[in-house]
Chains A and B, each alone.
Chain A
Amino acid sequence: MNNNETAVIFGATSAVGQALSKIHAEQGGALILVGRDESKLDVTAADLRTRGASQVDCLVADLDDFDKHQSLLQEIENKADDIAKYYFFYGTLPDQKACEASWQESHKALTTNFLSAASLLTLIANKVETESKNKGDRGIIVVTSVAGDRGRQSNYIYGAAKGGLTLFLQGLRNRLHKSGCSVTTVKPGFIDTPMTSDIEKGGPLWATPEKVAVDIYKAAQKGKNEIYTPNFWMPIMLIIKNIPETIFKKLSL
């Protein structure tokens, strides 16, 4: 299978971002990598070129800097005039206790995990809406989290950011439907990555970035609306979402 479309990867040096980029590269696709750390981007780019990417460009950006979003998207447009996929992989896993103790911490987490993506998506949506393309040619794929399905005391700041983003994407999907650009919400469970390195791992609920990336790639190719990855999270979250609040508020989750 060959797939030579161009994909933009926000958060290209994240574990899942790298794994997804590899799949695109192996299909012969072109990639525009966006991340904070120039040397990590360069290392990633060299790997992807060797694996078969037809073209790899790197853009260094701190995505918390909203003022630069417009110029960043202009740079992206300058690199390739026909962008098929926009992937969002960046995020932080804040310390809930620290967020409770300090609004600054909460604000930072909400900024990176929700506001920054919302800002970029606003600009991207306005662009794709004016493009005349066939249905299925373009897609926006954003990683949120199962944590956004229901607020829990152990991580509701992160949950609020991801849940807010999930709602934002629902609206955006509705809005962009006419233009033929799909919007895919990806809700992963636990992934074994550096972001989760402080958590004791093990057990069947943990997935590798490679497995998650394959699920995301397939969902993106099909222009799916929403996926859980691995998909066993769907029934789990269905139960969690349906526990009555009177009971849920008493649980220590």
Chain B
Amino acid sequence: MKKYRSWAFIPPIEQKAVRPQWLGFKLPDTNEGEKEKSGSLLPYGNGRSYGDSCLNVKGTVVDSRSLNRFIHFDENTGVLKCEAGVTFADILAVIVPKNWFLPVTPGTKFVTVGGAIANDVHGKNHHQDGTFGRHVLGFELLRSNGDTLLCSPDENKDFYAATIGGLGLTGFITWAEIQLIKIESPYIKVETTAFHGLDEFYALSESANKNHRYSVAWIDCASSGKNFARGLFMAGDHADHTPQGKPNKAVQAEPKLSIPFNFPKLALNRYSIKAFNALYFNKNSAMSAGTSYQHYDSYFYPLDGLGDWNRIYGKQGFYQYQFVVPFSEKATMEKILNKIVESGLGSFLAVLKEFGDVDSPGLLSFPRPGICLALDFANRGETTLKLAAELDELVIKAGGAVYPAKDVRMSSQAFKAYFPKMEEFKAFIDPKFTSDFWKRVNKES
């Protein structure tokens, strides 16, 4: 049975849930003194948020996964209307055979549409197309008092802006309408270039982002000296045809491989991570440098091919740290990378990406112009938390931000510094909704 957990297993908690089956449902009663009091509420999608933004331990989560029906798909205009629990994987299975694609996708297709809006997710095309929220034409928001609000850039604009990136706190999104983009093939034309150091990355990113829809870099966070900040830069575009000899398959089925159990604590350490990074760099810089064609599934969702990959970190779970700092703060980025390398706590796959200056529509949207780094830290208790707190200080000083969807530990001061529109946002929170994340970042300390 699926448990109501966060993706990174921290905190290791399960909790109460309700699972509505059909639109038109009522949210459970939260009144004090009711026989089966639900307590506060929080929407729950597919449990891919890493931290406590998808948890509401003292209350109830409202599981959206049975609300997974398509309502309408216009094959001529690419406008798709569906219930909030539909996943990106479901959508791709329907739209790719008709030559449409998601306007923005994160690095996993196992997110729900509701979750994608609530976190205003971004992807490898942020520099051109902005966040997912920009492509949401409208949605319906169910409030705990029973009201339903139609929200769009023209209607209930304030709730539209608060709900996009609003971490599920403004009410329950029941359905949404999104604008897809046209493609000619399920393949991505990828250009891979090796780089050494941040200067080379900045230069590559600057020139590539003008000409390519997608760009992302893998960066080695374990090596120092001459290998410091080496990485692979991958620029991509939707191919204008399916290359000869490649199967024109739109969908990959369920993960072929799956991690059946939590890895033991020893599996991940400084040496295995270093070895992995060296291997990955050498293999890929030698083999795939240049131009290649990749199926969208392996290009956008490399980890989805490995079911339950979060178990690699063992049952103690892991931390993910994702932040953005302005372009001008290259020195800060370098300092942070140095700290991570020194700590030896960095992970296999660290991802570096340039965010463009396309405005994010949400009051609490995370993406803003600058350079964004995401990486996992194995859970080494206090040592890991201390490192993250030190990184927070540098990010705050640089005027950057840390991504709430990945977070389980940032302080309330840090959150306020990262999200200056927090006070404005508060007016739109549903009085009966909260999350463990929200309680944490509002705690006075």
Q: What are the residues of chain A within 8 A of B23 when measuring CB–CB? A: 43
Q: Are the C-beta atoms of A50 and B1 separated by less than 8 Å? A: no
Q: Are the C-beta atoms of A50 and B73 separated by less than 8 Å? A: yes
Q: Are the C-beta atoms of A192 and B1 separated by less than 8 Å? A: yes
Q: Are the C-beta atoms of A47 and B70 separated by less than 8 Å? A: yes
Q: Mark A217-241, 1 if CB is under 8 A from B, else 0.
A: 0000000000000000000000000
Contact pick for B21, options A26, A194, A202, CB 8 Å: A194
Nearest-CB residue, chain B, relative to A190: B1
| CB-CB under 8 A for A46 and B1, given A40-B22, A52-B94 | no
Q: Are the C-beta atoms of B1 and A51 separated by less than 8 Å? A: no
Q: Is B315 an interface residue (CB 8 A)?
A: no
Report Cα–Cα, A46/B239, bound state, in Å. 31
Q: Is A244 an interface residue (CB 8 A)?
A: no
Q: Is A206 an interface residue (CB 8 A)?
A: yes
Contact pick for B71, options A46, A192, A194, A197, CB 8 Å: A46
| CB-CB under 8 A for A201 and B72, given A40-B22, A50-B94, A51-B94 | no
Report Cα–Cα, A197/B19, bound state, in Å. 9
A192-208 residues at the B interface, CB under 8 angstroms: 192, 194, 197, 201-203, 206, 208
Nearest-CB residue, chain B, relative to A207: B1
Q: Is B417 an interface residue (CB 8 A)?
A: no
Report Cα–Cα, A223/B407, bound state, in Å. 50
Q: Are the C-beta atoms of A44 and B69 separated by less than 8 Å? A: yes
Q: Are the C-beta atoms of B1 and A202 separated by less than 8 Å? A: yes
Q: What are the residues of chain B within 8 A of A43 when measuring CB–CB? A: 22-23, 69, 71
Q: Are the C-beta atoms of A47 and B69 separated by less than 8 Å? A: yes
Nearest-CB residue, chain A, relative to B21: A194
B58-113 residues at the A interface, CB under 8 angstroms: 66, 69-73, 93-94
| CB-CB under 8 A for A201 and B1, given A51-B94, A52-B94 | yes
Q: Are the C-beta atoms of B72 and A50 separated by less than 8 Å? A: yes
| CB-CB under 8 A for A46 and B72, given A192-B1, A194-B21, A206-B1 | yes
Report Cα–Cα, A197/B23, bound state, in Å. 18
Report Cα–Cα, A192/B22, bound state, in Å. 16
Q: What are the residues of chain B within 8 A of A52 when measuring CB–CB? A: 94
B131-175 residues at the A interface, CB under 8 angstroms: none
Q: Are the C-beta atoms of B70 and A46 separated by less than 8 Å? A: yes
Report Cα–Cα, A44/B66, bound state, in Å. 12
Q: What are the residues of chain B within 8 A of A203 when measuring CB–CB? A: 1
Q: Are the C-beta atoms of B69 and A26 separated by less than 8 Å? A: no
Q: Are the C-beta atoms of A50 and B93 separated by less than 8 Å? A: no
Measured CB to CB, the residues of A under 8 A from B are 15, 26, 40, 43-44, 46-47, 50-52, 192, 194, 197, 201-203, 206, 208
Measured CB to CB, the residues of B under 8 A from A are 1-2, 19, 21-23, 66, 69-73, 93-94
Known: A47-B70, A194-B21, A208-B2. 14 other contacts (CB 8 A): A26-B93, A40-B22, A43-B69, A44-B69, A46-B70, A47-B69, A47-B71, A50-B71, A50-B73, A50-B94, A51-B70, A52-B94, A201-B1, A203-B1
Across the A-B interface, give the 3 residue pairs with the lowest CB-CB distance, nearest first.
A50-B70, A47-B69, A50-B73
Sample of 6 A–B contacts (CB below 8 Å): A43-B71, A46-B70, A46-B71, A194-B21, A202-B1, A203-B1
